Chain A
Amino acid sequence: MSPLAAALLIMLIATVAAIVAGPLSVLKRRQPPRHAMLAELEAQREAKYRDIRDAELDHEMGKHSEQDYEEIASTLRSEAVEILNRIEALQREGEEEARAEAAGGEPPSTR
C-alpha cells in the first residue's frame, strides 16, 4: 500500500469512527416510551385528517349520498376526537413530568 493510500485509509477510518462513536459519550438516557406513542398517535391523527378531507371531497364531488356521508363523517370525527384526546392526555403527562423535573424532584417512571 502506498503511503498516500495508507494515509487516506487512516483518515477515513478515523472520520467514520468519530461519527459512529459520537453518541456513545453523549446520550445516556433512553427517551420515554411516551415519545413513541405520541409519534404513533400523531401519524394516526394525520391519517384521520386526510380521511376527513378525502370524505369531504368525495361528498362534494357527489360520490356519497347525504345519508352515507353523514354516517361516514360522524364516524371519522369521533375517531379523530378520540385520537386528539389521547394526544392531549399524553402531552399533559409530559408537561407534568417536565414541571416535576424543573422543581428538582425525580421524574415519575415512564416504563
Chain B
Amino acid sequence: MASLGSGALIFALVVCAYGIGASVYGVRNDEDRWIESGRRAVYGLALVLLVAFIVIEVAFLKNDYGFNTVADTSSATTPLFYRAAAVWSSQEGSLLVWALLSSLWSSLALFLVKGKMREVAAYAAAILLAFDGFFIALAIFYANPFNTTSPKPLEGAGLDPLLRFPAMIIHPPMIYSGYTLCIVPFAFGMGALIARRVDTEWITATRRFALAAWLFLGVGIVLGALWSYSELGWGGYWEWDPVENAALMPWLMMTAFLHSAMIQEKRGMLKVWNSSLVLAAGTLAITGTFLVRSGVLSSIHAFGGATLGVPFVILIGLMIACSIYLVVSRREQLSSSHRLDSLFSRESVFLLNNIVLVGLCFVIFWGTFFPLISEMATGQAASVGAPWFDRYTVPLALILVLLSGIGPVIAWRKASVANVKRNFATPVLAALATLIVLLALGVTSKLFALVMFCLAAFTIGSVTQELWRGTRVRSNATGQVPPRALLGLVGRNRRRYGGYMTHVGIAMLFVGVAGSSSFMHAAEPRLSVGKSIDIGGYRMKYIRPTASVTAKNDAAETGATLDLGAVLRVSKKGRYVTTLRPSEGYYDSDEAGVPPESVGHLIAGTPVSHVTLSSNPLRNVWAAIEPDLQAPKLQRIIAAGNKTIPIDKPEDGMIALAVLAREYLAHPQAAKFNLRVQPLLMWIWIGAIIVAAGGLIALSPTPRTVVRRVSVRAARRRAESGLARA
C-alpha cells in the first residue's frame, strides 16, 4: 500500500498546481467556472491527503515495518494508543499531517465564504494551495512517509518514551492546527491586498479562523507546558525553549489581531495594522514550523532534520517580501479617514494592548533568534536564558493583565471622566482589598508577584462588575431571574463575554505563574530509605523503594521494560498530607550496542521520569526520582546477564531484569530526588481551561437568524426615529 500513498502524494501535488492555475486564471479572466474549479481543487486535495494519511495510519496500526517511518517510530511493544499517534512523531508523518490539516481547514474556510468575496477567495485558494503544495513537495522530495525497506525489519525502534504521555499525543495536532489555521487569515489577507478589497468583509469572514488558530495554538502551548511539567522531570512548565517560543509568537500576534480587528470592524480604522498583523502571524507560524524542522536551533521538541532548512528559509523570505510589497503598494486603499475620538476609549486601550503584545512578541523573537544573530555578528553563538526573558516579559505581562481589566469597563469611542470613575471604583477596590490581605499575610518580599495578584484582582473585579451590571440590565428589561438573564446576556453577546472570560482566565493563569515561580521551594537531595528532608514547610520521607518489570504494565502504561521508584511520605507539622510514588521508566533500545548486550539493550532507551504530585488550588507538592542504576551491584547483574543470555532471547533478558529489580528492592541504594513545593500552580491549568472555554464561547455562532430578523426591523425603526429626533 506504500505505492498507493506515494501515488496519492504525487497526485496531491498535481491537484495543488492545477488549483493554483485554475483560481488565478479564473479571477484574472472573470471566469467563475475556473474559480469554482480552483475552490474544488482544495476539497479534492483534502480527500487525496486523507487517503494518504489513512494508508500510513493503517501501516502504524498493523506494525508494517516495511515503511521506514513505522520502523523508526513504532514497535510491537508500543501501546496501541501511542502507536496510533506515532505518525506525527516523525518528520515524514508530521509533514503529511500538516498538509492534511491545512487542506481540511482551507476547505472549511472556502466552503464558508462560498458566494462571497469572489476575487479575494480565489486568490486565497491559490495561496492556500501553494502552502499545501510546499509541504507536499517536502514530503515527496525530502522526507517521504511512504519510503520502504526490503526485507522488512522484524521489529521497530519504538516511539520515543518521552512522547508516551497523553497530552503529548494531542499536543502536536493542536499546534499543527493552530499553525495551519494561522495560514487561513494570512491567505485571505493576502488575497484582499492583491484584489485591492481591503474593506471589512475579509476580516469578518476570517475572524473565526483567527480565533480558532488562537484557540488551538493556546491549547497546544498549554498541553506542551503540561507535558514539560509532568514528564520531563525538571519541575518546570516553561523554559523559553525556541520551539515553545515559536508557538507563542503567532499566538501573541493573533491575540493582537483579534483585538484590533474589532476596531476595523467598528470604525474602519487600522487597516494597515490589521493586514500587517495577520501577515506577520502567518509568517511566524511558518517560522515556528521551520524552527521545529530545520535543526537551526537546538530544542528538545525539534525533529532536527537539517535538510529542510533551506526550503523553509526561501518560503519565509518570499512571505516577508510579498507581505511588505503588498502592504506598501496598497497603502492608499488601506488608509482610513477615521481618527480616535478620545484617549479615554476602548479603541485606545486596544491599541495599547496591541503595542504590548507586539512588544512581547519582539522580545521573544529577539531572545529566540539571539544565537543566530550573535553568530552572524560575532561568529560565536550565544544564547539568552530565562532570566533575560523574564526581565522584559514580566513587566509587559503586568501591563497586559492591567489592560485586560481596563478593556471591559471602558466604553467604545468616548468615556467621560465621571464614567471612568464610576466604572473603575469596584475593580480598584478589589485590587486594594487584595493588596491589604496580602500585606496582612506578610507577602511583601516578591514585588512582581504582589503586583500581579493585585492586577489579577482588578481584572476579575472589572469582569465580574460587567457581568453583574449586564445581568441587571437584561433582568430589568426582560423580567428574567438573574441566572437566566446572565445566560441570555452571554448567549446574545458571545464574542464580548467569551472575550471577557478569557481575560479572567489569563489573569488566573498569571496568578499561577507568579505564585509558583516566586514562592517555589525546591531541593535535589540524595536520600536513603528512612531519611527525610524539609521543603517549604513539608517533610518528605523516603519510605521504601518500588520496582516493576513487565513490558506493558509499568505504572504509567508507557511500555517501560523496567521501572524503579520510591514511596515518599509527605507530612506537614507532623500531620500526614499525602504519599508520593515517583519512578523512572527504562525502555528497550533498538541500538543493541557492539557487541550486542542481551540485557543492557532492554534498558538502554531514554529513561523517562514518571513524576508524581499532590495538587490542590493552594499548592503542588511534586517529586521526581533518579535511581542509581550505576550502583555496582546492579551493574554486575546486567554484565552477567549480557554474558550468559543470548541476544535472541529477550524473555530470558527480562528474567535478568527481574533479578535486578529484586536486588534494588532488597538492598536499596540512595537515590537522587527532585522535590518541589509550588504554591498556586494549579491556577495555571484552571486559568488555561477558562481561557479555552472563553475562546469556545466567542467562537460559537450567535443564533444569527433570530438576531438578524429582530435587529433589522428594530434597528431600522430606531435609526429612522433617531434621525427624526435629530
Query: Which residues of A are interface residues toward B (Cβ below 8 A)?
Result: 1-2, 5-6, 8-9, 12-13, 15-16, 19-31, 35-36, 39-40, 43-44, 46-55, 57-58, 60-65, 68, 72-74, 77-78, 80-81, 84
If the complex has contacts A49-B711, A72-B413, are A23 and B33 also in contact, measured as CB distance less than 8 A?
A: yes
Q: Does B469 contact A (CB under 8 A)?
A: yes
Cβ of B719 under 8 Å from chain A: yes
Q: Are B15 and A44 in contact (CB under 8 A)?
A: no
Q: Is A65 in contact with B419, judged by CB distance below 8 angstroms?
A: yes
Asked if B415 contacts A77 (CB within 8 A), the reply is no
Contact (A21, B37) CB under 8 Å given A49-B711, A62-B469: yes
Task: Report A-chain residues with C-beta under 8 Å of the C-beta of B414.
Answer: 64, 68, 72
Docked-complex contact A9 and B11, CB < 8 angstroms: yes
| B66 CB, min distance to chain A CBs, angstroms | 13
Nearest residue in A to B31 (C-beta to C-beta)? A30
Question: In the complex, what residues of A have CB within 8 A of residue B30's CB?
Answer: 30
Does B496 sit at the interface, judged by CB under 8 A?
yes
The answer to the question of B201 belonging to the interface, with a C-beta cut-off of 8 Å to chain A, is: yes
- Tell me the B244-292 residues at the A interface (CB within 8 Å): 265-266
**Nearest CB of A to B721, in Å:** 8
B contact residues around A78 at 8 Å (CB):
719, 722-723, 726
Chain A-chain B contacts (Cβ-Cβ < 8 Å), number: 167
- Given known A51-B266, A64-B414, A74-B726, contact A31–B422 (CB-CB < 8 A): no
Is B204 within 8 A of A46, CB to CB? yes
Chain A residues whose CB sits within 8 angstroms of the CB of B7 once the complex forms = 1, 5, 9
- In the bound assembly, the distance between CA atoms of A57 and B408 in angstroms comes to 12
CA distance A62 to B421 in the complex (A): 11
The answer to whether A5 and B4 have CB atoms under 8 Å apart is yes
Interface-located stretch among B39-47, B220-228, B559-567: B39-47
A52 and B718 CA atoms in complex are apart in Å by 10
Q: Which of A29, A31, A49 contacts B715 (CB 8 A)?
A: A49
Cα of A61 to Cα of B18 in the assembled complex, Å: 55
Tell whether A77 pairs with B719 under 8 Å between CB atoms, given A9-B4, A9-B8, A47-B204.
Answer: yes
Whole-angstrom distance from the CB of A93 to the nearest CB of chain B?
A: 18
Q: Within 8 Å CB of A72, what residues of B?
A: 412-414
Residues from chain A with Cβ under 8 Å of B409 in the complex: 63
For A24, what are the chain B residues with a Cβ–Cβ distance below 8 Å? 33-34, 37
Q: Which of B115-123, B383-391, B505-513 contacts A (4 or more CB under 8 A)?
A: B115-123
- Per the bound structure, the CA–CA distance linking A73 and B36 in Å amounts to 42
Contact A53-B32, Cβ < 8 Å, known A20-B44, A24-B37, A77-B722: no
Complex contacts, A49 vs chain B, CB 8 Å: 708, 711-712, 715
Contact A63 B415 (CB under 8 A): yes
Q: Top 5 nearest A-B pairs by Cβ distance?
A: A23-B36, A63-B411, A77-B722, A16-B44, A1-B3
Task: Check if B36 sits within 8 Å of A64, measured CB to CB.
Answer: no
- B199 within 8 Å of A (CB atoms): yes
Q: With a CB–CB cut-off of 8 A, which chain B residues contact A81?
A: 719-720, 723
B719 A80 Cβ-Cβ under 8 A? yes
Task: List residues of chain A with CB within 8 A of the CB of B44.
Answer: 15-16, 19-20
CA distance in complex: A43, B496 (Å): 18
The distance in angstroms between the C-alpha atoms of A52 and B493, with both chains bound, is 13
Chain B residues contacting A54 (CB-CB under 8 Å) are: 412, 496
Query: B interface, by DSSP: helix, strand, loop or mixed?
Result: helix
Residues of B within 8 A of A43 (CB): 200-201, 204-205
Mind listing 13 A-B residue pairs with CB under 8 Å?
Answer: A2-B3, A12-B11, A12-B48, A16-B44, A23-B33, A30-B31, A43-B200, A44-B199, A53-B711, A54-B496, A61-B473, A63-B411, A64-B414
| Residue on A nearest B422 in the bound complex, by CB | A62
Looking across the interface, which residue of chain B has its beta carbon closest to that of A40?
Answer: B201
Q: Does B51 contact A (CB under 8 A)?
A: yes
Most chain A CB neighbours (cut-off 10 Å) among B31, B115, B409, B715: B715
Nearest chain A CB to B456 CB, angstrom units: 23
A31 to B35, CA, bound (A): 11
Give complex CA distance A74, B724 in Å: 10
Give the Cβ gap from B108 to chain A, nearest Cβ, in Å: 16
Contact between chains at A29 and B40 (CB < 8 Å) = no
Measured CB to CB, the residues of B under 8 A from A are 1, 3-4, 7-8, 11, 15, 18-19, 22, 30-34, 36-37, 40-41, 43-44, 47-48, 51, 115-119, 197, 199-201, 204-205, 265-266, 409-416, 418-419, 422-423, 466, 469-470, 473, 477, 493, 496, 708, 711-712, 715-716, 718-720, 722-723, 726
**Bound CA span A26–B3, Å:** 35
- Residues from chain A with a CB closer than 8 A to the CB of B119 are 36
Question: Residue on A with the closest CB to B12?
Answer: A16
Least CB distance, B429 to chain A, in whole angstroms: 17
Q: Which residue of A lies closest to B716 (CB)?
A: A84
Interfacial chain B residues near A51, Cβ < 8 Å = 266, 412
Partner of A63, one of B3, B205, B410: B410
Which residue of A is nearest B416, CB measured? Answer: A65
CB neighbours of B117 from chain A (8 A): 36, 39
List of B residues within 8 angstroms of A9 by Cβ: 3-4, 7-8, 11
Which residue on A lies nearest to B33, using beta carbons? A27
Which residues from B are CB-within-8-Å of A57? 470, 473, 493
Q: Are A47 and B40 in contact (CB under 8 A)?
A: no
Assembly CA distance A81 to B723 (angstroms): 9
Nearest chain A CB to B417's CB is how many angstroms away? 10
Complex contacts, B416 vs chain A, CB 8 Å = 64-65, 68
Complex CA–CA separation, A8 to B8 (angstroms): 10
Given A62-B469, A81-B720, CB of A35 within 8 Å of CB of B413: no
Cβ of B413: which chain A residues have Cβ within 8 Å of it? 55, 68, 72
Contact of B51 among A12, A21, A23, A53 (CB under 8 A): A12
- Using CB atoms, name the residue of chain A closest to B715: A49
Cα–Cα, bound, A12→B118 (Å): 29
B4–A30 contact, CB under 8 A? no
Which of A2, A30, A55, A74 touches B32 (beta carbons < 8 Å)? A30
Q: Which residues of A contact B712 (CB under 8 A)?
A: 49
Distance in angstroms between the alpha carbons of A39 and B19 in the assembled complex = 25
Residues on A with beta carbons closer than 8 Å to the beta carbon of B205: 43
Q: In the complex, which of the residues A20, A44, A48, A58 has the most CB atoms of chain B within 10 Å of its own CB atom?
A: A20
What residue of chain A has the Cβ atom nearest to residue B342's Cβ?
Answer: A68
Nearest-neighbor residue (CB-CB) of B266 within chain A: A51
A83 and chain B: residue at smallest CB distance: B719
Contact of B41 among A8, A20, A64, A74 (CB under 8 A): A20
**Which A residues lie within 8 Å of B48 (CB)?**
12, 16
Assess the A23–B37 pair: CB atoms within 8 A.
yes
B726 / chain A contacts, CB cutoff of 8 Å: 74, 77-78
Known pairs A9-B8, A24-B34, A68-B416; list 19 more (Cβ under 8 Å): A1-B4, A2-B3, A5-B4, A12-B11, A15-B44, A20-B40, A20-B41, A22-B37, A27-B32, A27-B33, A27-B36, A30-B31, A31-B118, A47-B200, A54-B412, A55-B412, A64-B414, A65-B416, A74-B726
Bound complex: CA A100 to CA B32 (Å): 23
- C-alpha gap A59/B542 in the complex (Å): 63
Q: How far is the CB of A82 from chain B (nearest CB, A)?
A: 10
Q: List, in ascending order, chain B residues with CB within 8 A of A63's CB.
A: 409-411, 415, 419, 423
State A68–B7 Cα separation when bound (angstroms).
Answer: 66
